[in-house]
Amino acid sequence: MKKKIAILGSTGSIGKQTLEIIKRNKHNFEISLLTADKNHVLLSKQIKEFRVKNIIVTNKKSFQILKKKFNKLNISNNLDKIDKVITTKLDYTMSSISGFKGLKPTIKIIKRTKTIAIANKESIICGWNLIREQLEKYKTKFIPVDSEHFSIWSVIKNIRPDKVESVIITASGGPFYALKNNKIKKTPMLATNHPNWKMGKKISTDSATLMNKVFEVIEAKKIFNLELNKFNILIHPKSYIHAIVKLKSGLIKLVAHETDMKVPIFNSLYSDDNYLKSKKIDIEILNNLNLNKVDKNKYPLIKILKLIPKRESLFETVLVSANDELVSLFLQKKISFDDISLRLNKIIKNKNFLKYRQKKVKNLTQIEKLNNFVRLKTKSLSVISNFK
């Protein structure tokens, strides 16, 4: 029997790679649902190639074009009603819509799928307790797809949290790690030119500031139910080792794979009786892992981890929302690269936002309202300049 698959964000990087993997063994899969935003040209090709009958496209113009082109298919433009578009049980869902747009559909699709693979940071960071409730309620299996989290998961998925002594997450250091001349202007073009991975502009900028690692530690803390002090970040420019887990039994387990997201995607989709064609073990890299501590002066945002509360709170939403807007301002060349760190630290330490460390996450509406509020405040440069 064919596996029924849904891909949320099929025209993005993770979505495209998921379809590429499925394409190799297409007769074993049925693509039940694809969702996208603006890229109707690529989505149209995907619909034809995989004979998809259920489509959600959120961009109004793209929706009208596809609705006219595929008038016999079930095409909607309302992502909030994803659980109404799909009424049968899916075998696997890839949730890879970027940003806060991916939170609500991720929560809603859980009851319609046996397994959900999540590659959306915002969903886990801001709404993990809401996701966890749905996973437990509908007995849905969860697999993290981010390379670091998948690596940790592959080691400790059958191990109790109290058996884990410590976890190291590696960071490439981004495009400015080896930069010796600090006078060079850190432009959006340079910041988004990642040395190892092909990623979007936003996440590439987060890699350059190391904010992506702050987010990854927060995610891992929530996913694996581990104390924050069990995590550490090391710079590993080759991005070959993705995680190092030390167990209380004395064992230290390193997870390595080439810089290709198809590895975690493939392993989240297939069982052990399938294989992925990949490169041979790189002995040269293993002989020179070059693991280093993070320079907090070079990457000041790493200090934010000290502010993260032990329990689930709305503070993580403040952090994600403010960072998103500051990165957007940088990419628009309205602020400098260094301004991202300076202003984010001022924003989250302001009394108007610091109070959210004490406020629990109760529902999705609460997260959405706070997200909008923080973004509006962050956009206002006059407000930012007054933060003390």
| Positive or negative: CA dihedral 18, 207, 106, 325 | negative
- Domain parsing of the chain, residue ranges: 3-145, 159-258+290-304, 309-388
Checking if the pLDDT of 388 tops 80, the result is no
Measured between alpha carbons, how far is 127 from 155 in angstroms, rounded to an integer? 24
Among 1.10.1740, 1.10.3470, 3.40.50, 3.30.70, what is the CATH number of 309-388? 1.10.1740
What 258-264 contacts at long range (C-beta under 8 Å, 24+ apart), as own/partner pairs, is 258/282, 259/196, 259/197, 261/13, 261/14, 261/17, 261/145, 261/147, 261/197, 262/17, 262/20, 262/21, 263/147, 264/145, 264/146, 264/147, 264/150, 264/151
Tell me the average pLDDT across 282-305: 93
Q: Is the pLDDT of residue 124 over 50?
A: yes
Output the CATH code of domain 3-145. 3.40.50.720
Average pLDDT, the chain: 92
Quick one: average pLDDT of 275-300? 90
Mean pLDDT of 129-148: 96
Query: For 13-32, how does the pLDDT look when each residue is reduced to its tens digit (9 = 90+)?
Result: 999 999 999 998 888 999 99
pLDDT at 382: 42
At 178 the pLDDT is: 80
pLDDT tens digits, 156-191 = 999 999 999 999 999 999 888 887 767 788 998 988
What confidence score (pLDDT) does residue 381 get? 53
**387 pLDDT exceeds 50?**
no
